[in-house]
């Protein structure tokens, strides 16, 4: 299990918010996960690693969108189905 952090800003008058996410993901899971994210209209703003020579290699993907937070959450839940294990929040580790 690897961590995920999701947050959103204040809602506007239409119920939209700036939504953010940072998801730790195994390198081999990046193509399918990223394809799912992008096809749902979520922006991938960064993809990077924190540590060199780590095995397995864990990458960090940063995502964002402007939409109702519940819509963002549903899209993420759909994309999580492409991962080998369901992410956890930092406070559960």
- Express each pLDDT in 36-84 by its tens digit: 999 999 999 999 998 888 888 999 999 999 999 999 999 999 999 998 8
Is 3-82 a domain of CATH 3.30.70? yes
Asked, as a colleague might, if the bond just before 56 is cis with ω within 30 of 0, I would say yes
- In the structure encoding, which two tokens stand for residue 93, read together? 């580790």
Domain locations in the chain?
3-82
Q: At what angle do helices 30-39 and 69-80 cross, to 10 degrees?
A: 150
Whether the full predicted model's pTM is greater than 0.75, yes or no, is yes
DSSP label of 19: E
Identify which of 34, 43, 49 has the alpha carbon closest to the alpha carbon of residue 80: 34
| 13-30 pLDDT tens trace | 999 999 999 999 999 999
């Amino acid at each position: 299990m690897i961590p995920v952090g999701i947050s959103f800003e204040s809602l506007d008058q239409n119920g939209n918010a700036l939504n953010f996410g940072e998801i730790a993901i195994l390198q081999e899971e990046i193509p399918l996960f990223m394809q799912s994210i992008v096809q749902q209209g979520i922006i991938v703003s960064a993809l990077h690693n924190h540590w060199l020579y780590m095995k397995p290699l864990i990458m960090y993907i940063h995502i964002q969108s402007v939409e109702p937070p519940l819509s963002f959450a549903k899209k993420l839940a759909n994309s999580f189905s492409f991962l080998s294990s369901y992410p956890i929040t930092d406070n559960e580790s």
